[in-house]
Amino acid sequence: MKDEEIDNLLKKAAQAPRDLDPLVLQRIGDSIKSSLHPVRALTPVWLMAVGLVLVCVAVSLAGAARAGFFGIAKMNMPERLVIFPALGLLACSVAVGFVHQMVPASRVRVSPGALLALSSVALLAVFALLFSDYHTDHFFSVGITCLFTGLLHAVPAGLLGWLMLRRGYAVNPGAAGLVAGTLSGLAGVGLLELHCPNFQVAHILVWHTAVVPVSAALGALLSWTFARRPRP
């Protein structure tokens, strides 16, 4: 059977009359009539994305201002010039992805999972390229503190991000939560790079980078749980 024949079968089948009860249409019209008032359209995507990136920068800076800028102070110029622009670029692309998740029928160029993978792999590559201290002291005790600090700062970034996009509507809450978590995780990594003076490769590769996937998983889980909540 040729594709054209399958097409014809589908078209023929779709042409079967399926009338819609006019009463249903009238009921729909009546139900929206009372609340029909002009609404303000959403802010442009680029503006919302810029807002999200600024929120992440603000959270990272505020956290580092409180905890100390020891990490950036210890970095040399090439490290600063690669790490922070890389974080900025990743934050911009993830922010655009987050905005698209909050606007129905947006064009999806990179899936939420791919954004998470891209962010994690890019961070691993940058850290592996720049740092060369292969000692490992207090791997777990210091590492868990860093992971916890990063996640702690990802929370306000995530909450402020949701607040900023509260007028949006996620048709796939799990995916939206995953991207939101990825973005707020990047804010957490930003704080760690500003604050943490531990430049041991294993520490940075494992515990700093882990903030992004853990935060993304938490975001997806929270969003999915919230969406599954029974509504009246």
Partner 1 sequence: MVRYQQGDFAAATVLISHISPHLHRFFLAKSMSRTDADDLLQETWLQIHKVRHTYRHGEPALPWFYAIARHIRVDHYRKSIRAAAGERELGEMSKGAFSAPHQADELEALLAPLSESQREVLALLKVEGMSLEEVARATSSSVGSVKQKVHRAYKKLRETLGVKPPRKLRSGELA
Q: How far is the CB of 156 from partner 1 (least distance, A)?
A: 25
- Record the tokens describing residue 220, joined without a space: 């997806």
Nearer to partner 1, 35 or 141 (CB): 35
Q: How many residues does the chain have?
A: 232
- Binding flag, residue 171, partner 1 (CB under 8 A): yes
The residue within the footprint of partner 1, chosen from 66, 74, 135, 228 (CB under 8 A), is 228
Least CB distance to partner 1 at residue 45 (A): 8
* Least separation in angstroms between CB 155 and partner 1: 26
Choosing from 41, 132, 141, 232, the residue that interacts with partner 1 (CB under 8 A) is 41
Stretch that binds partner 1, among 60-68, 86-94, 141-149, 162-170 (CB under 8 A): 162-170
Could you tell me the CA-to-CA distances from 67 to 20, 70, 139, 198 in Å, in that order? 63, 9, 21, 14
Q: How many degrees, rounded to 5, is the angle at CA 147 between CA 72 and CA 192?
A: 10
Site string for partner 1, 69-108 (x = CB under 8 A): --------------------------------xxxxxxxx
Identity of the residue, 22 or 78, whose beta carbon is nearer to partner 1 in the bound complex:
22
Angstrom distance (rounded) from CA 99 to CA 103:
7
Q: Is 118 in the site for partner 1 (CB under 8 A)?
A: no
Q: Which of 51, 143, 35, 63 is closest to 98 using CA atoms?
A: 51
Q: Which residues of 56-82 are buried (b: 16+ CB within 10 A; e: fewer)?
A: bbebbeebbeebeeebbeebeeebeee
Cα gap 26→138, rounded to integer Å: 69
Question: Is 229 one of the binding residues for partner 1 (CB under 8 A)?
Answer: no
47 binding partner 1? (CB under 8 A) = no
200 DSSP β-pair partners: 133
Left, alpha or beta for 206 (phi > 0: left; psi -120 to 50: alpha)? alpha
Min separation Cβ 164 and partner 1, Å: 14
- Identify which of residues 9 and 121 has a Cβ nearer to partner 1 in the complex: 9
Query: Where do contacts with partner 1 occur on this chain (CB under 8 A)?
Result: 1-3, 6-7, 9-14, 16, 18, 20-21, 24-25, 27-29, 31-33, 35-42, 101-109, 111, 167-169, 171-172, 175, 228, 230
